[in-house]
Every structure is written in C-alpha cells, then in structure tokens.
Amino acid sequence: MSKQQQTDLDAMLRNTPLDTAADVPTLRAGFEEVMRQVPVAPDVRKTPMTVGGIGAIEVTIDGTDSADVILYFHGGVYVIGSAAASVPLVADLARRTATKVITVDYRLAPENPYPAALQDARAAYEGLLQQGMDPSRIALAGESAGAGLAVATLLAFRDDGKTLPASAFLMSPYADLTLSGESVVDKEPLDPLLTPDGLRRRVTDYVADADASDPYISPVHGDLAGLPPLLIQVGSHEILLSDAIRLAARAATADVAVTLDVVPGVPHVFQAYAAVLDEGDAALDRAAAFITANFAAPHARRAT
C-alpha cells in the first residue's frame, strides 16, 4: 500500500510542480493558492498574534491546554511561504504533541534579504522568553528553509551565550545555500519538487551580498557544539538529502544528541502529506514523541 502511495504522490507532485524559477509575485501567488486548498480540521484554532514584535499565528486544537510551545518557521527558500500556508502541517504537529504551535511570519527575500529572517526568528524566540516562558518548555521546528533557519537561530543564541530551547525538529532542512551537497545533482531525477536550477535562482534573493557559506545562512558549515537535541527527518528522493546528512554529521561530531531519520522513497517535506502517505503519518508520530520527551526531560542549556 505504501509503495502505491509513494507512486501516486510522486505523480501528483510532478503534475503540479513548484516553479521556483518563476518571478517572485507569480511564485508566491501560486503557492498560496495551492495551500489554501489544503483542508484544516474544524477543531483547529488559528489566532493571529505578534511575538517579539513579529507577526505570527498561534495554532491550537480544541480541548488541549499545554504550557509548552513549539516555535515554528515555515519553508519556501526564504522567498515564498507564510504562517498561514503552514497551518495544515503545523496543526498536525499541534494535534500529535497536544501543544500549541506559534508559526512565524518572518520577512521574506528579495525585499528583505539576510539577515532579516534570522533577526525575526531571534526576536520571536526572545519574545517568548520576555513573556516569562521557560526555555525548557520551548521547542523549535521548521521545514525546508524554516528548518535551516531554526538551526541558524540556535547558533546565534548559543554564540550570544543565551539559554537554548529544549529541542529542535527539522524537516528536510535547507541548510547549505552554497548547494555543494552531492544529492543536489545525484537526486535530481528522483525529486518531484525541487531542482538545482530553481534553487540557484533563489539563493541570491536571500544571500544578496553576504557569504552563502556563513553558518548563520548555511548551518552545515558551522560548529554545532552546544545545541540541544535535534531530530532531522528527510526523504531519500530529495535533492536536499545531503544537507540533512551533513547537518547530522556535524552535530554528531560536536557531541550533540542528534537523530537522523531518512525515509526511503519519499519527497521533500513528505510529512505534509501525512493524510495520504503512511510514511508521513509515522514520521510525525516519531517527531511528536521526540518533542514531548524533551519537554518532559528538558535539555535546555546555556552555551559555554
């Protein structure tokens, strides 16, 4: 059954490709229109808010009440995407963890290149701390560019000697904007969503005049020592596979508690298709267990 699900999903994605080479307004409009078609269960509550002065949406499930928070960063190669578009996936994570999720509308490139997204991510986390939240009751999460941004945020706070959150859950992290991973080329025939050329066209939108190998842009090139436990999930059919593998290796080398979860035969951010893909459903269950376990036995720490 799962193999047929993978085949059907691959065909669907290839029939509705994300043209990352399109002009930015067209790309954004097309993506948001697609995401508006994704159903959200009636018990999902979406509350617009600001955190640390940054726009966001708080996502909760009726009947749940938790002191824990997942701070979420959406994907979209730093150019597209929004908090609203992330709600279907975020709601699934909120339901499985029985935790509220705050999904952040960080500023997008090219209008706001690096370091705008990182500044907003930092402000959102600092906003939670200013509200009196215990860092050990906060987890970071994100998909694609949002996962890379989550790691960059951890590095920035570690370098400032700030207390870090309990854990981070990273889906298909876009963590090397130099595009030096072998899978960028090797996995291109298998990836139904992303292409090397499409990524190259968008890199300069975010990087602008900065250095793409800066660890705050491309965490795979950084020292990850002192980070909290990480769960990295990635599909074997995506061109960003190498980003996930190298990020996990850097973390392991730096004595970070890291779990690399490579799921065969599935595409980029496969968890978003949990309703039709068994592997996505199971992966989110594993992620929920990871997040809640780290809330229960917090590993938040101050960098040394």
Residues with catalytic function: 144, 238, 268
Beta bridge partners of 251: none
Q: How far, in whole angstroms, is CA 142 from its chain's centroid?
A: 2
Rounded CA separation 199/195 (Å): 6
DSSP for 141-207, please give it. Answer: EEETHHHHHHHHHHHHHHHTTPBP-SEEEEES----TT---THHHHTTTT-SS--HHHHHHHHHHHH
With a CB cutoff of 8 Å and minimum separation 6, the contacts of 86 are 72, 74, 75, 103, 143, 146
Please check whether residue 83 is in contact with residue 116, taking contact to mean a CB–CB distance below 8 angstroms.
no
Residue 127's φ and ψ, nearest 5 degrees, are -60, -40
Rounded CA separation 207/111 (Å): 12
The helix (run of H) or strand (run of E) holding residue 247 is helix 241-253
Give the amino acid at 217: I
